[in-house]
Structure 1
């Protein structure tokens, strides 16, 4: 893919080999769909003359399917890389500083997986120190839980500290109050574009026909509430209060150079989860707490790949809807500085983090600001930017 004529676009990581989609407003006007290129947004409704992009979300476009996605991407790329297309696109480039970003899509359902071997093993050792870290099913299927789409919020939304039941080691019963072990989870999310009917599983081979692109996810977690409630049915109130997503949806086609076979799986998965294409993704995540980098989780270390997650999600015949979001679960690597949650970084609070300003953290305090960003190798040989997802903790209500 050739370089863009937009100044600084390719160097920014938002060049012609990226072209992520988002939704924006400008000067009191209605929401519109745009593509980010450098420090600008290309107004697609104006540039392409397509009223479908004069919409408050990406959902109408995503519902058209992969043929439309690829044709639109090719057309936009041509406009931004050729002098012939420049006259059509340049008048409709809007500086980022003049727009307000909106949620990029309407979330239909939200599912969160648990697909990092290192994260699952660490959590098992912390929560269940006298047992095997992994449950017997973990290497046979991508474990997940069904979250709440209504609490998926755009990047930049303040996160109110949740309250709930929790039990301290020295108490006879539970107490109710604000979580004292509020945590983050650095994840990658997958956005479904093309839906399915009930009763029809999606095979791993059809992954790219249904998933439109990826976003960054911070699945905020109240570990004390989670630890008390999760037996026997799994996470509920410790997770459902907020999940933040980044404003730019990076198309799957932009990740071609980041793809690889994926991590070796032992034992071999059952036939419906056999991989048939390379959907391991070599992405470099970065977690910042109050501006300081505290972790660099490698997505390449994930055990289960996104095509397997989708196949498992629908293997019972559950339908997909445009705007469904499913996330990878916390991304963690084998080193301490690659752990994607404070639960792991502080080893359940036993090994506090000391920040550059001398402050100490085990879990999040009110006023803490968290940012998760990511990059990957682009098809043109450079680096593409997946943007970032941010949030600041506010005190509990009441």
Structure 2
């Protein structure tokens, strides 16, 4: 299939015809939340397409018969729950409608009235959270990050806990503070131990002084599993709807004091940013690759028949100062994971935990093996504040200042057929006044 007839589909666009990610929008003519797909610098409004008397949603996508209102919903949950076979058929049909050599030009390309209503500039629409997220689990599958941070605090010999290579380590996060790209992030208050060597231990309460980002990939669950029933690792791909970029904002000083014995709490629950467009699982299939080699003998339920189970997504992190200067501070790849999302799902459900449509799984911080320029957090880059990251304009950072903005980007493929996520960004604002 060649290019698209849609306007302004640049060869360098994240949203080529090979992608067509799904999102939730409001438009100048429709302030109710509803579904759209991205193509180039435009969107195709799926609610408008479905409602047009000349189209007939079921005739375009037979698997949507009986679900004609699925794109008028305020989230993608109803569409996600229909399953991967339906997602595949709909995405294939949309590719045909938007292709320069479409087999059905009369539906959209050669229908000026519908085209004018359904094809809108991305700048004219507002993006919203794509899913209703009931639960959020953040894993720790980025091997290089885990090893670097473990070395920093425990030394190289004890960098990884004994369980790390035997199971996907994770913790339950806070779904209520997940926000869409562009939402401001307020610096959190919390308890901080300024002098760990002092006795007795006496923390203060105040704004975090070590606010950080974490570069992650997020995965949305499509279909639920029943309580008490585990999902097999080789069936888990069918449970996946699609992927987003994820920034797990982290207050390192609050985390250091609170995380023993039960792990992160207030240091992680104040904000998690995701990109607004969900890249469907099928769009990433051509970019599968092998994860980092795991030398541990895995339990049977974690052994995958498919060896290429992670994706070679090129990832970047930009830091923009309050003055507007932007520096790319990290470049790495999503292939730097020890555990795949199917393995995470298999382990998550091993004891019978019921995952639900819209549940979000985070990969954990993704860093590469190539030193500071491949680190997915400032904690690693600055060795917990001991070194500075140099920025454009003779500026520097150890951790984030008020007014700083972090933007994550990810893309696969070459120009003309890029499969990307768009921006996942948020700006830091000052902490609120603490209450006694």
TM-score (norm 2): 0.88
Q: 2:108 aligns with which of 83, 86, 89?
A: 89
Unaligned runs of 5+ in 1: none
Q: 2:132 aligns with which of 106, 111, 124?
A: 106
Looking at structure 2, the residues matched to 178 and 52 of structure 1 have their Cα atoms a distance apart, in angstroms, of 43
Residue 10 of structure 1: how far off its partner (Å): 5.8
Looking at structure 2, the residues matched to 310 and 46 of structure 1 have their Cα atoms a distance apart, in angstroms, of 35
Residue 331 of structure 1: how far off its partner (Å): 0.4
Answer yes or no: is 1:353 the counterpart of 2:389.
yes
SS at match of 1:340: coil
Answer yes or no: is 1:6 the counterpart of 2:3.
no
Q: 1:281 aligns with which of 295, 311, 316?
A: 311
Q: 1:222 aligns with which of 251, 254, 279?
A: 251
Match of 1:46 in 2: 48
Looking at structure 2, the residues matched to 196 and 164 of structure 1 have their Cα atoms a distance apart, in angstroms, of 37
Answer yes or no: is 1:248 the counterpart of 2:250.
no
Asked if the contact 1:156–1:392 (Cα under 8 Å) also holds between the matched residues in 2, the reply is: yes
Instruction: Summarize deviations over 1:214-240 as a string: whole Å, max 9, x none.
Output: 000000000001111111111111111
Correspondences of 1:138-177 after superposition (within 5 Å): 138-169=164-195, 171=198, 172-177=201-206
Asked if the contact 1:35–1:42 (Cα under 8 Å) also holds between the matched residues in 2, the reply is: yes
Looking at structure 2, the residues matched to 382 and 62 of structure 1 have their Cα atoms a distance apart, in angstroms, of 24
Match of 1:30 in 2: 32
Residue 93 of structure 1: how far off its partner (Å): 1.1
Instruction: Summarize deviations over 1:174-196 as a string: whole Å, max 9, x none.
Output: 11111100000010000011111
SS at match of 2:25: strand
Asked if the contact 2:7–2:42 (Cα under 8 Å) also holds between the matched residues in 1, the reply is: no
Instruction: Summarize deviations over 1:283-341 as a string: whole Å, max 9, x none.
Output: 11100000210001221121111111111111111001110000100000112100000
Q: Specify whether residues 330 and 16 from structure 1 end up closer, same or farther in structure 2 by C-alpha distance, changes over 3 A only.
A: same
Looking at structure 2, the residues matched to 86 and 39 of structure 1 have their Cα atoms a distance apart, in angstroms, of 21
Looking at structure 2, the residues matched to 85 and 121 of structure 1 have their Cα atoms a distance apart, in angstroms, of 53
Looking at structure 1, the residues matched to 234 and 102 of structure 2 have their Cα atoms a distance apart, in angstroms, of 38
Q: How many residues align?
A: 397
SS at match of 1:83: coil
Residue 126 of structure 1: how far off its partner (Å): 2.1
Looking at structure 2, the residues matched to 394 and 221 of structure 1 have their Cα atoms a distance apart, in angstroms, of 14
Q: Specify whether residues 54 and 130 from structure 1 end up closer, same or farther in structure 2 by C-alpha distance, changes over 3 A only.
A: closer
SS at match of 2:87: helix
Answer yes or no: is 1:64 the counterpart of 2:82.
yes
Asked if the contact 2:179–2:272 (Cα under 8 Å) also holds between the matched residues in 1, the reply is: yes
Q: Which runs of 4+ in 1 moved over 6 A?
A: none
Instruction: Summarize deviations over 1:115-168 as a string: whole Å, max 9, x none.
Output: 111100111122334861111100101111000100111111111100111112
Looking at structure 1, the residues matched to 249 and 104 of structure 2 have their Cα atoms a distance apart, in angstroms, of 43
Match of 1:55 in 2: 73
Asked if the contact 1:24–1:99 (Cα under 8 Å) also holds between the matched residues in 2, the reply is: yes
Instruction: Summarize deviations over 1:84-105 as a string: whole Å, max 9, x none.
Output: 4343234121111221111111
SS at match of 1:367: coil
More moved, 234-243 vs 165-174: 165-174
More moved, 258-267 vs 342-351: 258-267
Residue 262 of structure 1: how far off its partner (Å): 2.2
Asked if the contact 1:157–1:392 (Cα under 8 Å) also holds between the matched residues in 2, the reply is: yes
Match of 1:266 in 2: 295
Looking at structure 1, the residues matched to 292 and 431 of structure 2 have their Cα atoms a distance apart, in angstroms, of 41
Looking at structure 1, the residues matched to 47 and 429 of structure 2 have their Cα atoms a distance apart, in angstroms, of 37
Looking at structure 1, the residues matched to 156 and 257 of structure 2 have their Cα atoms a distance apart, in angstroms, of 17
Looking at structure 1, the residues matched to 120 and 228 of structure 2 have their Cα atoms a distance apart, in angstroms, of 44
Correspondences of 1:308-387 after superposition (within 5 Å): 308-335=343-370, 336-377=372-413, 382-387=417-422
Residue 257 of structure 1: how far off its partner (Å): 1.6
SS at match of 2:284: helix
Looking at structure 2, the residues matched to 107 and 392 of structure 1 have their Cα atoms a distance apart, in angstroms, of 22
Looking at structure 2, the residues matched to 141 and 274 of structure 1 have their Cα atoms a distance apart, in angstroms, of 11
Asked if the contact 2:18–2:418 (Cα under 8 Å) also holds between the matched residues in 1, the reply is: no
Instruction: Summarize deviations over 1:1-55 as a string: whole Å, max 9, x none.
Output: 4422224426113121100000111125311100100111111122244321011
Residue 366 of structure 1: how far off its partner (Å): 0.4
